[in-house]
A = this chain, B = another copy of it.
Amino acid sequence: MSVSQLSVEQLRQQIRNNDYKGSTSGLAQSYLQANLVILPKDWANEFLLFCQRNPVACPLIGMTEPGSKSLQEIGIDIDISRDVPEYHVFRNGEFENSVYDLTEIWRDDFVVFVLGCSFSFEDALMQAGLKVRNIEEGCNVSMYDTQLACHSAGRFHGNMVVSMRPFTPSDAIRAVQVTTRFPKAHGAPIHFGDPLSIGISDITTPSYGDAVEIKHDEVPVFWACGVTPQNVIRHSKPPICITHAPGKMLITDRLNNELSFM
């Protein structure tokens, strides 16, 4: 059975067993996928403030008690330390390595932040009859570092990361309408058109994820992206921080449409 046909429970089981380590884009459709940031307790309150000040890039869905690997808001049987296909470990702001299970490096002072993800609105875009290029091409979404500064909070500061999907202008207008309904999944786009005006010098070379085709009658449309914290962590240098690998999300038991306000 293709991974795209698995139920949310089956897919998460495969991920937990390290049988699936790929992108979760287009998988477990209609289920809320989430960005993950794990920090030591003494960095957590500042990151909470960072989320509050940057709600479009960092739409906070939930935050654990120190040491807890579970969070009622996203599902009962989820083990945050094992249920992501690939984790990135950063030490002092530097990427150290990828791991597929956090059991061995888990600490009692870890606090987990679960943030909304644009994959939620991709589901809504497709339900509205729009084609999402990265899903059509079966690859990870294109993500870019920008020159758009986030609002700082304590030791956390840095620039926004964006995801990009190409659309014709009329489909882009429809995409604004659809994604506006999902403020907890980054909401409406933050930019369209000229990449350079937000500091992207080469649209064909994403900073993260895969490149996708942009057709001659299409414009790139940019949404704030949950990879933003990873960029901020590089600047802010906490002794340890663990995130999901870009495009490889935590799949929750909640429905995307639970995040919609209409």
Contact = CB atoms under 8 A, between A and B. Distances in A.
Interface string A188-199: 111111100100
A219 interface: yes
Chain copies in the assembled complex: 2
B188 A169 contact: no
A173 B189 CA distance: 7
A127 interface: no
A173 B173 CA distance: 8
B177 A192 contact: no
Interface in A177-235: 177, 180, 188-194, 197, 217, 219
A170 interface: yes
Contacts of A250: none
A141 interface: no
B170 A190 contact: yes
Contacts of A169: 191-194, 197
A173 B193 contact: no
Given A177-B180, A180-B177, A192 B172 contact: yes
Nearest to A193: B169
Given A197-B217, A217-B197, A188 B192 contact: no
A173 B188 contact: yes
Q: Which of A170, A173, A177 neighbours the largest number of chain B CB atoms within 10 Å of its CB? A: A173
A170 B198 CA distance: 11
A103 B90 CA distance: 79
Nearest to A188: B173
Contacts of A197: 169, 217
A217 B193 CA distance: 10
B170 A193 contact: no
A176 interface: yes
A197 B215 CA distance: 14
Interface in A116-131: none
A219 B170 CA distance: 14
Contacts of A170: 190-191
Interface in A81-124: none
B173 A190 contact: yes
Nearest to A198: B169
Given A173-B176, A177-B180, 13 more contacts: A169-B191, A169-B192, A170-B190, A170-B191, A172-B192, A173-B188, A173-B191, A173-B192, A176-B176, A176-B177, A177-B188, A192-B192, A193-B219
6 contacts: A169-B193, A173-B188, A173-B192, A177-B180, A180-B180, A197-B217
